[in-house]
Structure 1
Amino acid sequence: MFISPMLLETAHSPFSHSNYIFEPKIDGHRLIFSQQGGKIKLYTRHETDCTRQYPELLHPFGDDIIFDGEVACTDPETGAIDFEMVMNRFQAKKPDKIRQITVTQPVTYVVFDILSYKGQDLRKLPLMKRKEILSSISMPNKHFGIIPFIEAEGETLFSQMEAQELEGMVGKRMNSVYESRRSPSWQKVINWTYAEVFITGYRKDEFGWLTSVVTESGRLRPTGIIELGVPPKAKQAFYGVSKSIVTGEDKNFVYLEPRIRAKVKTRNWTKNGMLRSPAFVEFNLSTG
């Protein structure tokens, strides 16, 4: 049984509040775990069935149950949560490949909410009551865990997330019911990484600015495309300047001299040196 998940709004900055609990934000992908009539089904937040991708999670509980949580992978060498590894797991389709990477890249399902138990819908209960029920349930193997939380001290937790270079934190109202929509009762605070890039081109059809950085050898290296966070005035200023620095074009892109610099924020850098979901912050107008 699929239940549309409760989605997060974005807080502008870390905060503390006596009516909130605060949890680490796990850098994986959302997973609804459903056991009904003894049959287990796993779903993404968009109701994509991903049951076969995670065989280590197909261990039954004693009663029917529905969890909400995040599935993640940990790099065995560094111990850090690795988003690219869990995406590799999610994209695996062939049975032989799935069996292989279940051994080399095992997942952990980090449960943070319980939506149904023993046939009873729990979504109207306050969050802290749901947490109490969740804490009473024994997990079937090492691939399941329950997310920790602290009360009130969100800024303290966020400082710890920054120090450990983790994705951020989530603040949740203690009395919040579970709503299958985006709600201000749950708020995320992202631990952004910032970078300076050159804008070296743009898409011809849908919006997107090509970005590059200068390597130690002085050459430009592509780092991805900015699609997020660009206000209308910034777009207008960019296209006004870009006309005079065009170097060429192809079917999809117009290319520019590397003369426009911008500050971006990003979740992190991928292993192959690309910005992950970069968002525009501001143009860098310094000339030094």
Structure 2
Amino acid sequence: MLAQLALKPFDSSQHLFEIKWDGTRCLAFIEGGRVRLDNRRFVDIAPVFPELGGLRDLPPNSVLDGEIIVLEEGKPSFPRLQERIHTRSPTRAALLAQVHPATFMAFDLLYVQDRSILAQPLLERRARLEDMIRCFASPLLVFSDGVLEHGKHYFSQVKRLGFEGIMAKQIDSPYLVGRRSVYWQKIKVGQMQEFAIIGFLQRENKPAISALLLGECTRGTLMYRGRVGSGFTEKDREELFQQLIEAPPLAHPPKGGPKAAQWRQTALRCRVDYMDKTTSGKLRAPVFKGLVT
């Protein structure tokens, strides 16, 4: 079950509000004395998180929905998570499990001992999940708690603490497998910044951009901060293409750009909303918010 995007936080007596964990979404299948951890591409990622094999002691033939996170200084660290996910060596996976252990943040329960509870209301499913986790009593598995009704205040607290955002879930909703539904909504905490437009990617066989290439001067050096490909109207894409195609080439493009980049020397700047930056300084989940005039 997937969430729709909500533009701002709200209060509602019919909703539960939870932290939106900055991790990787995962279904945990407890079956035959082992654990299968399927990500959103239906790939079993259990081998790169060997410590989560301990979840096999949960009630058999159960399915939990949640997020795998890696904590650093008490908060989810996306770079640490990426390091774990991209590990291919079992030896290194075992080492990282000791150095940067993962936690399964569970927020829903779909099956209990081979019996579907998908049609039960959200609060009933979560009550059963909380009981299961309490009996399991392991730091590997944590119940993703939340609050009822007071979404605006909860969002402000989550933002102050530096988390990714919140989820708003209708308390009487069933679980809709594989569907994006208004029953679940996500409200993200964004960061806004201005960047130099230093090039573009062109749509195939069309006089329009597919993305803008963003730059930022740091200590006198132009750094590539990634591409932004969402937030544009079709008119924006065509007009930006006409402006940029006529601009002179950028004499010294920064490192790290895409092969199909068309680098340009311009005075154009734009505002971009984004979640955060990677360890290499590139933007995560950027959205174009308009030109700086």
Same fold (TM over 0.5): yes
In the aligned structure 1, how far is the partner of 2:171 from the partner of 2:38? Answer: 26
- Which residue number in structure 2 is paired with residue 211 of structure 1? 214
Counterpart mapping for 1:1-288 below 5 A: 6-59=1-54, 60-75=57-72, 78-137=73-132, 138-180=135-177, 181-204=179-202, 207-215=210-218, 217-247=219-249, 252-285=260-293
Structure 1 runs of 4+ aligned residues shifted over 6 Å read: none
Provide, for residues 2-56 of structure 1, a one-character-per-residue CA deviation record: whole Å limited to 9, x for no partner. xxxx000001111110100100100001010001233321110221111111111
Q: Percent identity?
A: 26
In the aligned structure 2, how far is the partner of 1:16 from the partner of 1:170? Answer: 12
Q: CA RMSD in A?
A: 1.6
The alpha-carbon distance between structure 1 residues 97 and 135, as it changes in their structure 2 partners (threshold 3 A), is: same
Provide, for residues 236-277 of structure 1, a one-character-per-residue CA deviation record: whole Å limited to 9, x for no partner. 221121133221599622111141110001110112211112
Matched-pair contact (CA < 8 Å) for 1:114–1:130: yes
In the aligned structure 1, how far is the partner of 2:259 from the partner of 2:27? Answer: 41
The alpha-carbon distance between structure 1 residues 163 and 236, as it changes in their structure 2 partners (threshold 3 A), is: same
Matched-pair contact (CA < 8 Å) for 1:38–1:64: no
Could you tell me how far 1:183 is from its partner in structure 2?
A: 0.3
Matched-pair contact (CA < 8 Å) for 1:32–1:42: yes
Letter in 2 for 1:102: A
In the aligned structure 2, how far is the partner of 1:93 from the partner of 1:218? Answer: 38
In the aligned structure 2, how far is the partner of 1:243 from the partner of 1:203? Answer: 11
In the aligned structure 2, how far is the partner of 1:281 from the partner of 1:193? Answer: 11
Give TM-score scaled by structure 1 length: 0.92
In the aligned structure 2, how far is the partner of 1:170 from the partner of 1:119? Answer: 28
Provide, for residues 183-242 of structure 1, a one-character-per-residue CA deviation record: whole Å limited to 9, x for no partner. 000000000111110110112456221100122x33321100112222112112211211
The alpha-carbon distance between structure 1 residues 232 and 205, as it changes in their structure 2 partners (threshold 3 A), is: closer
In the aligned structure 2, how far is the partner of 1:106 from the partner of 1:37? Answer: 24
Moved more, 274-283 or 230-239: 230-239
Moved more, 255-264 or 105-114: 255-264
In the aligned structure 1, how far is the partner of 2:260 from the partner of 2:130? Answer: 52
In the aligned structure 2, how far is the partner of 1:136 from the partner of 1:63? Answer: 15
Matched-pair contact (CA < 8 Å) for 2:215–2:225: yes
Could you tell me how far 1:79 is from its partner in structure 2?
A: 2.6
In the aligned structure 2, how far is the partner of 1:106 from the partner of 1:213? Answer: 34
Give TM-score scaled by structure 2 length: 0.90
In the aligned structure 2, how far is the partner of 1:277 from the partner of 1:173? Answer: 26
Letter in 2 for 1:136: D
